[in-house]
Amino acid sequence: MKRIRIVLTLVLSFLITVANAQDSGQLAASAYAQANYDDAAQLYDMAASLASDGAVKTQYYNMAKKSRECKSLTSRAASLYSSGDYEGARSVYSRIVSLNPSDKTAKSRLNSIDSRLAKQKAAQKQEKAYADALKSILYNSGAMDVSALEAFIKKYPKDSRVELIRKMVAHLGSQTRTVSAEEVEYYVAAGKEFFTVSNTEVASYLFNCAALYADPDALYYKALIFAKDSKEYKTLLAMAAEAGHKEAKTLVEDIRYDRTAAQRYYDSLKNYQNDLESALFVLINQESYYIPSLDPLSYILSQLPSDIEQLADVDDGLLYYLGSSAKIKDRERCKNMIIAAAVKGNADAIEEYAFKYDKGMYKDALYLFAYAAGVESSGNKMTGAYSHFDQEEVRIYVDMLCGRDITSDDAFDLFLSAWYRSTLDAHETLYVAALMSDSDYTFKEFKTFWKYRKHLIFDEDFVAGLKSDLTRRSSESKYYAKVLKILSKAKVQKDFYAENTARYLAGILSLEDLHRTRSMSKTYIIE
* pLDDT recorded at residue 215: 96
The string of DSSP codes covering 413-478 is HHHHHHHHH--S-HHHHHHHHHT--SSHHHHHHHHHHHHHHTTSEEEHHHHHHHHHHHHHHTTT-H
Q: What is the 3-state secondary structure (H, E, C) of 447-465?
A: HHHHHHHCCCEEEHHHHHH
pLDDT at 221: 97
End position of a domain, from candidates 84, 118, 152: 118
What end-to-end distance do the CA atoms of the chain give, in Å?
76
408 domain residue, yes or no: yes
DSSP class of 313: G
DSSP code per residue over 363-429? HHHHHHHHHHTT-HHHHHH--SGGGG--HHHHHHHHHHHTT----HHHHHHHHHHHHHH--S-HHHH
Q: 30, 44, 35: which is closest to 75 by C-alpha?
A: 35
Give the per-residue pLDDT at 17: 44
Alpha helices, H only, 212-253: 216-225, 231-242, 246-251
- The reply to whether 337 falls in a domain is no
Residue 363, domain member (yes or no) = no
pLDDT values of the chain reduced to their tens digit, one per residue, 527 residues: 555 555 555 555 554 444 567 778 889 899 888 989 989 989 989 888 888 888 888 998 999 999 899 999 999 999 999 998 998 999 998 999 999 999 999 999 999 988 888 888 988 888 888 888 888 988 877 788 899 999 989 999 999 999 999 988 988 888 888 888 899 999 999 999 989 999 999 999 999 999 999 999 999 999 999 999 999 999 999 999 999 999 999 999 989 999 999 999 999 999 999 999 999 999 999 999 999 989 999 999 999 998 888 999 999 999 999 999 888 889 999 999 999 999 999 999 999 998 888 877 677 788 888 888 888 777 777 777 777 787 788 888 888 888 888 888 899 988 887 776 667 788 888 999 999 877 888 899 999 989 988 999 999 999 999 999 899 888 888 899 999 999 999 999 998 887 778 888 888 888 889 999 888 889 999 97
d(CA 350, CA 338): 7
Q: Is residue 66 part of a domain?
A: yes
In DSSP notation, 179-201 reads --GGGHHHHHHHHHHHHHTT-HH
Half-sphere exposure in the Cβ direction for 248 (13 Å, CA): 24
Task: Count structural domains, the chain.
Answer: 2
* Angle ∠(320,395,385) on CA atoms, nearest 5: 85
Q: Which residues of 383-410 are buried (b: 16+ CB within 10 A; e: fewer)?
A: eebbeebeeebbbbbbbbbbeeebebeb
Task: Tell which phi-psi region holds residue 522, choosing left (phi > 0), alpha (psi between -120 and 50) or beta.
Answer: beta
Domain termination site, one of 83, 98, 118? 118
For residue 25, being part of any structural domain is answered with yes
Asked if 474 and 441 touch (Cβ cutoff 8 Å), the reply is no
What is the residue range of 11's domain? 2-118
CA distance 302 to 279: 11
Residue 13 domain-assigned? Answer: yes
Instruction: Let me know if residue 131 belongs to a domain.
Output: no
> Is 193 contained in some domain?
no
Domain C-terminal end among 85, 118, 151: 118
Phi and psi at residue 55, to the nearest 5°: -65, -40
Q: CA-to-CA distance for 505 and 202, rounded, in angstroms?
A: 53
